[in-house]
Amino acid sequence: MLHQRKYILDILTRACMTSCKPVDTSVSPSKVTLLPDHSFSDPT
């Protein structure tokens, strides 16, 4: 088996999301609507 468990855990640790709720797909299949958007407050 080839896996990237360590890399995944490193990235989640860096994003402080190690205890987030997992989802089964990477993108939502429902169509996204374009809304007026705000700049992300902390780009770093």
Residues in contact with other proteins by the rule CB under 8 A = 1-5, 8-9, 11-12, 15, 17-18, 20-29, 31-32, 34-35, 37-40, 43
12 backbone dihedrals φ, ψ, rounded to 5°: -65, -35
Least distance CB 5 / other proteins (angstroms): 6
Residue 8: strand, helix, or coil: helix
Least distance CB 43 / other proteins (angstroms): 5
Least distance CB 18 / other proteins (angstroms): 8
Say how far residue 23 (Cα) sits from the centre of its chain: 10
How far apart are alpha carbons 13 and 33 in whole angstroms? 31
